[in-house]
């Protein structure tokens, strides 16, 4: 993909709105509420814009959207060495699920972190056929303070389609496998509204001045009764790009369920009280609100421990270690980031506040700030130049 060479504006004094699909004609006709708060000043001196307030997280813009309570199954993992694995300490558990289900699977454990070199792997069975083993992303260690608050260490959740059974192993040298490992299987449930969010026209190479359409938490059926985290505000100085790993072959109607599964795993099983990402993007180019608290606010997420307070996190649904990221998703990541940067008065130039307060690029992949393979070998190399150029292109044409 070739990005256009457009001149970046010297300042970002822009009046921006967030587009949504209206739930009714009356809502579509209603004028947006203007945010008249005083503009802040960013690190690079650009004024933060007063943006039209996006709809509340609990406002449904997809017809028929209602909260959906996910089912949650937690299984203790027994310590049982496997002859096929050379490492002397192995954790293994197998469970069966209903045929045709979409489930979200992850592992949690007690303590602050897993030992160096430990791996987590998953495979699934459909009928008589087992898939190959897939590595689960192990997230940053939970500190003592977080552990005391009931948070658990663990992996990122993975969406699994059409599995009769899943099997997960934790493998490592003696002393590296954490205590109380648990396999978590989330049944995200279904809603008639899951298929109601339309997929737009195929993406083209044109850079448009449209501001991004981001569907609310209510649109994907967030059960706000399980959210225990009270929103906190930081300062947006950059963005961290993620992938969720898991299935790539999901249908458009699977997306709300996958997000509900991630939300339930993060909020309840990991003890974070909410979903970790600020925004999620699906393969069809649709963006979805993640962390509660306001899309135009500097809401602190739980996506990259070392920089949660100084960046926002945007994650693409899918695994892009071997598969290429869909262009519709790539362009939406750029468009949402351009809008978010403009709201907070920054551009891709300058530096963000990275780990331990050190300077880093404004736009980075997760592996740049943590020990992880995220966002995959097919997405990560495109961030530094290609994604940054595309963000610049979108930001250059955002309307005044």
b or e along 188-216 (b: 16 or more beta carbons within 10 Å of the residue's beta carbon)? bbbbebbbbbeeeeeeeeebeeebbbbbb
Helix (H) or strand (E) holding 14: none
Is residue 180 over pLDDT 50? yes
Last residue of a domain, one of 136, 161, 187: 187
Structural domain contains residue 6: no
- One domain, residues 87 and 127: yes
pLDDT, residue 77, reads 83
Specify burial of residue 265 (Cβ count, 10 A radius: 0-12, 13-18, 19+). Answer: buried
pLDDT in tens, 296-355: 999 999 998 889 999 999 999 999 999 999 999 999 999 999 999 999 999 999 999 999
- One domain, residues 243 and 375: yes
pLDDT, residue 211, reads 74
- One domain, residues 219 and 299: yes
Cα gap 116→349, rounded to integer Å: 36
pLDDT, residue 26, reads 28
pLDDT in tens, 143-167: 666 766 788 989 999 999 999 999 8
- One domain, residues 240 and 117: no
pLDDT, residue 131, reads 92
Which of the four pLDDT bands, split at 50, 70 and 90, describes residue 85?
Answer: very low
Q: Is the torsion defined by CA of 262, 268, 271, 274 positive or negative? A: positive
pLDDT, residue 212, reads 85
Q: How many CB atoms lie within 10 A of CB 42?
A: 19
Mean pLDDT of the chain: 81
Could you give the number of structural domains in the chain?
2
β-bridge pairing 78-79 and 89-96: antiparallel
Distances (CA, A) of 13 to 55, 145, 260, 295, 349: 22, 40, 36, 19, 16
pLDDT, residue 6, reads 32
- One domain, residues 284 and 363: yes
Residue 298: closest CA among 308, 283, 287, 288: 308
Structural domain contains residue 5: no
Cα gap 360→310, rounded to integer Å: 11
If you average pLDDT over residues 263-267, what whole number do you get? 97
pLDDT in tens, 207-254: 877 778 999 999 999 999 999 999 999 999 999 999 998 889 999 999
Last residue of a domain, one of 154, 170, 187: 187
pLDDT, residue 188, reads 96
pLDDT in tens, 1-47: 333 333 333 333 333 444 433 333 223 222 222 232 233 444 454 44
- One domain, residues 120 and 183: yes
Q: Residue 32, CB half-sphere, CA atoms under 13 Å: how many? A: 17
pLDDT in tens, 354-389: 999 999 999 999 999 988 889 999 999 999 999 999
pLDDT, residue 115, reads 66
Last residue of a domain, one of 131, 155, 187: 187
DSSP string for 239-294: EEEEE-BS-S---GGGHHHHHHHHHHIIIIIS--SS-S-SEEE-TTS-EEE-SSS-
pLDDT, residue 378, reads 96
């Amino acid at each position: 993909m070739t990005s256009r060479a457009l001149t970046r504006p010297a300042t970002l004094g822009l009046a921006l709105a967030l587009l949504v699909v209206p739930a009714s004609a009356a809502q579509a006709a209603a004028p947006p509420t203007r945010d008249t708060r005083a503009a802040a000043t960013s690190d690079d001196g650009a004024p933060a814009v007063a943006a039209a307030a996006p709809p509340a997280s609990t406002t449904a813009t997809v017809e028929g959207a209602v909260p959906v309570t996910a089912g949650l199954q937690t299984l203790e993992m027994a310590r049982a060495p496997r002859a096929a694995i050379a490492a002397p300490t192995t954790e293994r558990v197998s469970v069966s699920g209903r045929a045709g289900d979409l489930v979200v699977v992850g592992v949690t454990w007690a303590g602050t972190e897993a030992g160096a070199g430990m791996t987590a792997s998953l495979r699934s069975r459909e009928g008589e056929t087992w898939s190959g083993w897939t590595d689960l992303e192990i997230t940053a260690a939970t500190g003592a303070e977080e552990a005391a608050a009931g948070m658990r260490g663990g992996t990122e959740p993975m969406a699994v389609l059409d599995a009769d059974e899943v099997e997960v192993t934790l493998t490592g040298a003696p002393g590296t496998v954490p205590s109380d490992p648990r396999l978590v299987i989330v049944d995200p449930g279904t809603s008639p509204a899951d298929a109601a969010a339309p997929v737009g026209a195929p993406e083209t190479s044109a850079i448009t001045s449209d501001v991004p359409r981001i569907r609310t938490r209510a649109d994907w059926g967030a059960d706000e009764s399980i959210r225990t985290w009270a929103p906190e505000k930081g300062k947006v100085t950059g963005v961290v790009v993620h992938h969720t790993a898991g299935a790539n072959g999901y249908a458009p109607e699977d997306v709300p369920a996958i997000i509900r599964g991630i939300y339930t795993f993060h909020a309840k099983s990991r003890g974070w009280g909410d979903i970790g990402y600020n925004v999620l993007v699906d393969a069809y180019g649709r963006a979805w609100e993640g962390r509660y608290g306001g899309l135009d606010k500097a809401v602190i997420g739980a996506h990259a421990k070392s920089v949660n307070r100084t960046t926002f996190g945007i994650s693409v649904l899918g695994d892009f270690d071997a598969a290429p990221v869909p262009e519709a998703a790539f362009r939406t990541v750029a468009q949402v980031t351009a809008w978010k940067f403009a709201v907070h008065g920054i551009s891709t130039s300058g530096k963000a506040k990275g780990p331990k307060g050190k300077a880093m690029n404004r736009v980075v992949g997760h592996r740049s700030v943590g020990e992880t393979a995220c966002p995959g070998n097919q997405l990560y190399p495109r961030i530094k130049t290609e994604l940054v150029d595309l963000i610049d292109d979108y930001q250059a044409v955002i309307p005044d």
